[in-house]
Structure 1
Amino acid sequence: MTLRERQKQQTRRDLLEHAKALFVERGYAAVTIDDIVSAVGCSRATFYLHFTGKPEVLQKIGAETMAQRAVAVYAELDEVLDSGSRAEFTRWMRRAVAWFEENQAILPAWDEAVALEPEFRAIAKRAVDELPAAMPRYLQRWGPQRRAEAHLRIELLVSQLERFFTRWAVQGTITSTADEAAEVLSDIWFPALRPPR
């Protein structure tokens, strides 16, 4: 790799790192491309050599910090559901809440971008659509004729987890421990993810 290529990669990493810090500090809408390039010390032209705009920057931040782990969390759920153990499911639920805790700082910016940027809605939808694909045994148990329902159940699980986490950790409007929440969420979701006989 040439020095120029290394510098280009470093500039890209710097843009992502500073954009993430700004999104966490100020929120998605309040941050401009000028803010990002100013923090890095480069030009707008340099920014556009790497990214098409703010939505792509946030998408790359999400892909690097969240998306791969999210798919791994749901691949793990596939194994847990295959075991048939409610206790394992509750432990999975606690790990899922922990995943949200790890990504807590960037999640409000992600939600804001989904609300503000039509193109980002498609990115967010793709991220959720990929989760059932990480769960082949789960989908197989529902069968091809009920695959859409199986997908919907995972989407609803993700939505409830996201909403719970926002109200619990971000807004502080739900008061419970993570373990209490994991137990109640398991009561709801362990039977809901098992196909009716």
Structure 2
Amino acid sequence: MTEQAEAVRERGNEGGRPRTLRDEQKARTRTALLTAARGLFVARGYATVTVDDITREVGCSRATFYLHFAGKMDVLARISAETMQQRAAGVYRDLDAVLESGSRAEFVAWVVRALDWFDRNREILPTWDEALAAEPEFQAVGRRSIVELTAAMPHYLARWPEGRQDEARFRVELLVTQLERYFTRSAVQGTIEFTGDAAAEILAGIWFPALQAPG
């Protein structure tokens, strides 16, 4: 039986039955593979890491790897999905409430928290950029992660007229892009020296009015 066929058979056995010790072991192995892959991606980048490197780090076989993931890109996609879901559930759901409050001071505080999210995840950011450049299929993963952010902001979207919903989403996407590029240039590359609360104030000055619904 091929590795892929074994993976299909194994996944098919999991539907609708009580969790067993075998299931617990599989879950631990999956977590170990994700942890090992993330560490390798951070240390060496996306392109140079192989499936063999990941399995060697965990001490399992390629067949075991393919029970859980379709390949290296799938591993990074799962890491990205879990990280971005946390971002949507936390940072941008928080933004939805901040914008509903109408408080500019709260928005400034939110910018600080949003930049802190980038700081806590800074090690994996270059891997995402590298994968986006190397794997055209990974672009769909990146796109979904952006869509999930605006999906976490229903109150913000509800304040915009139906005919301008796409514009409302685009404004959030531009905000995400600027925060990411600002963080990369200031904290990672060191090419922007304006940081801290002063930077948050200026970013809020740009984005707080830009995210207000018409009227």
Q: TM-score, normalised by structure 2?
A: 0.87
Say what the alpha-carbon RMSD is for the aligned residues.
1.3
State the partner residue of 2:141: 123
Correspondent of 2:205 among 184, 187, 193 = 187
Residue 10 (structure 2) aligns with: none
Question: Is the counterpart of residue 94 in structure 1 residue 112 in structure 2?
Answer: yes
Question: 3-state DSSP class of the match of 1:142?
Answer: coil
**3-state SS of paired residue (1:95):** helix
State whether structure 2 residue 38 is matched by structure 1 residue 20.
yes
CA distance in 2, matches of 1:178, 1:124: 28
Q: Quick one: which amino acid aligns to residue 72 of structure 1? A: G
Partner SS for 1:157: helix
Structure 2: runs of 5+ lacking an equivalent: 1-18
Is the 2:88–2:152 Cα contact (8 Å) retained in structure 1? Answer: no
Q: What does residue range 135-150 of structure 1 map to in structure 2 within 5 Å?
A: 135-150=153-168
> Structure 1: which amino acid aligns with 2:168?
A
Q: 2:63 aligns with which of 42, 45, 59?
A: 45
2:53 corresponds to 1:35: yes
Q: Which of 75, 83, 87 pairs up with 2:93?
A: 75
Among 187, 196, 201, the residue aligned to 1:178: 196
Checking the alignment, whether the CA contact within 8 Å between 1:66 and 1:103 is kept in structure 2 is no
8 A contact 2:115–2:179 mirrored in 1: yes
Amino acid at match of 1:4: R
Aligned residues: 197
Deviation, structure 1 residue 113 = 1.1
What secondary structure is seen at the aligned counterpart in 2 of 1:104? coil
Query: Separation in 1 of the partners of 2:88 and 2:155?
Result: 17
Q: CA deviation at 1:121?
A: 0.5
The alignment partner of 1:162 has SS state of helix
1:38 partner SS: helix
CA contact (8 A) 2:42 2:123 kept: yes
Q: What residue is the counterpart of 1:162 in the other structure?
A: 180
Instruction: Give me the whole-angstrom Cα distance separating, in 1, the residues matched to 2:20 and 2:214.
Output: 59
Which amino acid in 1 is paired with 2:155? R
What is the CA–CA distance in structure 2 between the aligned matches of 1:111 and 1:13, rounded to whole Å?
23
**CA–CA separation in structure 1 for the residues paired with 2:195 and 2:92:** 23
Deviates more, 1:139-148 or 1:66-75: 66-75
CA distance in 2, matches of 1:65, 1:136: 21
Bigger shift: 177-186 or 75-84? 177-186
1 CA distance for matches of 2:89 and 2:131?
21
Q: Name the CA distance, whole Å, in 2 between partners of 1:86 and 1:138.
A: 15
Deviations 1:16-42, CA, capped at 9 Å, x for gaps = 000000011111112111111111111
Query: What is aligned with 2:9?
Result: none
Q: Distance in 2 between matches of 1:72 and 1:59?
A: 20
Whether 1:10 aligns to 2:28 is: yes
Q: Are the aligned partners of 2:33 and 2:65 in contact in 1 as well (CA < 8 Å)?
A: yes
